[in-house]
Amino acid sequence: MVGLAEFFERKPNIEVVVFAGKGGLGKTTSSAALSYHMAVNEGKKVLCFSTDPQASLSDIFERDLFGKGVVEVAPNLYVVEIDADKKIAEYQQEIKHKIMDMYGLEELPKEIEEYIDSTSAEPAMYESATYDAMADLVASGEYDLYVFDMPPFGHGVRMVAMAEILSAWVDKITEARKEAAEYEAVAATLKGGMQTEDMVLKELEEIRKKMTTFTELMTNSEKTAFFMVMVPEKMAILDTERALEMFRELNIEMSGVIVNQIYPRDLLNKPDLPELLRKKIEMQEKHLLEIREKFEDLIAAIIPMYDREPKGLEMIAKVAEDLMNSRRDLLWW
């Protein structure tokens, strides 16, 4: 099997596709290509999501999308490129206003303000903000398919791991909170007073609900597909192995591996091939053999090295074709 078309035939109920892997290997390109294919060729309403400001969807679709919210770049094809820093800043602002409104303050206590501001420095804040945005989008259920170009941190599977940690944390905290509320109720009953609804518990329940819904979707292999994007290079192979390990630990099924940037082998037949390129192709060949040996059943698609940068709808359509039905001639084995 080669090509994602076959995969989607086998799993027609997929709602979420996640492309994971190190930066610069073609994740964003693959995301854009799949989204394009599903929207333009199959008429699905697709949302393509990216956070990575470097290899950006803006470049690929040749429009400034960064931090602009959801933009329709082609019929049925919607793209959102999250500006996580901006989102965090807005979120902090929202919290500050909420506190001031709740307690009728004109100014925040300095300590609280400092605490809120200090959170932007946390790397975890960036991750959480991204995941939260993803969870929100999926929860909206507006699209037939969600394609996530995962940020490079931790292969993107960190998201699922974190969902688990957060869920456990919400459990613990809810428990502590409930117990505290119970004792507060005891005190209130004894005083003959009434008890107010615990807003914190409500908020916690909401967080947890969002989290579990999202995690359940993510770990349902009928609805969510994870693809690792890699290139035939030693580092990428090691990296993919590590990622597979992580997936196993988290009980997530890795749907497949997409091998990108493959040089057509028939180049080797060209007598005037520069020595450097020849060496490179021979090297790729060696690594491809290793990839075949290690991930054979997982290889889902093969994408060649193009003579141009993958930019613009036309070029993306071409990549999409390769992604969905990979060129047989690249498979020399």
Partner 1 sequence: MLDWEVIPIPLFGRKNKEKKEEKKEGVSEALKGVLYGFAVHGAATAALKTRMHMEHLFMLMTLGDMLGFPIIPPYYSLKILPYVVPNIKSWKERLFRERDFTDLLSG
Partner 2 sequence: MQVAFLETPSLWIIGALVAYGFAYYVYAKWVDEHIWEVSEKKVTPAHMYLDGVEYFPVSRYVLYGFQFKSIAALGPILGPFIAVAYGWLPALIWIVIGNMFIGWVQDYSTIMLTVRNEGRSMGPLVYNAIGERGRKILLAYLLFYLLIISAVFIYLVSLFWNVFPGSFIATIGIIITGLIVGELLYKYKANIFGVTALAIILTLISVGVGTAVAWPPKDFFGPWSIQVWSIILAIILFVGAIVPLPKFITPMNFVAVFPAIGGVLLIIFGALISPATGMKLIQPAFKGWYVQNVGPIFPILFVSIACGAISGWHSLVSTSTTGKQLDVETDARPVGAGAMLTEGLLATSALAAYMVVSPDLIAKGKISAFVNGATLLTAPFLGGDASKAYLLTFFSIFLVIYAITVQALVTRYWRVFSAELFRGSWEWLGNKYVATVIGLILPIIFALTGSWINLWIYFGGSNQLLAAMALTLVAFYVAKMNKPSWYSAVPAAFMTIVTLSALLWEIYTFGLSTFGIKKPLAKPPLTQYPGAAWALNALFFVIGIVLFVLGIYMSYALWSAYFKVRKGEVEAKAVSP
Instruction: Please report, as ranges, the residues that interact with partner 1 according to CB under 8 A.
Output: 91-92, 95, 98-99, 102-103, 105-112, 115-116, 119, 122, 124-125, 127-129, 132, 162, 165-166, 169-170, 172-173, 176-177, 179-180, 183-184, 186-187, 190-191, 193, 196, 199-200, 203-204, 207
Q: CA-CA distances (angstroms) from residue 42 to 35, 38, 110, 144, 243?
A: 10, 5, 55, 11, 31
Among 183, 272, 275, 333, indicate the residue that binds partner 2 (CB under 8 A): 183
Other CB atoms within a 10 A radius of the CB of residue 118 amount to 10
d(CA 305, CA 263): 5
Strand partners of residue 228: 20, 257
**By CB under 8 A, residue 186 contacts partner 2:** yes
**By CB under 8 A, residue 178 contacts partner 2:** no
Minimal distance in Å, beta carbon 214 to partner 1? Answer: 13
Other CB atoms within a 10 A radius of the CB of residue 89 amount to 14
Minimal distance in Å, beta carbon 191 to partner 1? Answer: 6
Binding residues for partner 2, rule CB under 8 A, total 7
217 contact, one of partner 2, partner 1, none, CB 5-8 Å limit per kind: none
Minimal distance in Å, beta carbon 186 to partner 2? Answer: 5
Among 101, 107, 111, 182, indicate the residue that binds partner 2 (CB under 8 A): 182
Minimal distance in Å, beta carbon 192 to partner 1? Answer: 8
The window from 37-45, 90-98, 186-194, 319-327 that contacts partner 2 (CB under 8 A) reads 186-194
Minimal distance in Å, beta carbon 96 to partner 2? Answer: 25
Strands 299-304 and 145-149 turn out to be unpaired
Strands 46-50 and 145-149 turn out to be parallel
69 contact, one of partner 1, partner 2, none, CB 5-8 Å limit per kind: none
Structure tokens at 259: 């091998």
For residue 329, the 8-state DSSP code is G
276 contact, one of partner 1, partner 2, none, CB 5-8 Å limit per kind: none
**Crossing angle for the helix pair 27-36 and 312-324, nearest 10 degrees?**
90
Among 104, 192, 271, 274, indicate the residue that binds partner 2 (CB under 8 A): 192
221 contact, one of partner 1, partner 2, none, CB 5-8 Å limit per kind: none
What number of residues does the chain have? 333
CB of 69 or CB of 109, closer to partner 2: 109
**By CB under 8 A, residue 103 contacts partner 2:** no
d(CA 288, CA 236): 11
d(CA 183, CA 175): 12
**By CB under 8 A, residue 111 contacts partner 2:** no
Among 97, 131, 124, 129, which Cα is nearest to 113's?
97
Helix residue ranges, H only, the chain: 4-10, 27-36, 57-61, 84-103, 110-118, 123-140, 158-191, 199-219, 234-249, 275-295, 312-324
Instruction: Please return the burial class of 273, using the count of CB atoms within 10 Å of its CB with bins 0-12, 13-18 and 19+.
Output: middle
**By CB under 8 A, residue 118 contacts partner 2:** no
**By CB under 8 A, residue 185 contacts partner 2:** yes
Binding site for partner 2 (CB under 8 A): 182-183, 185-186, 189-190, 192
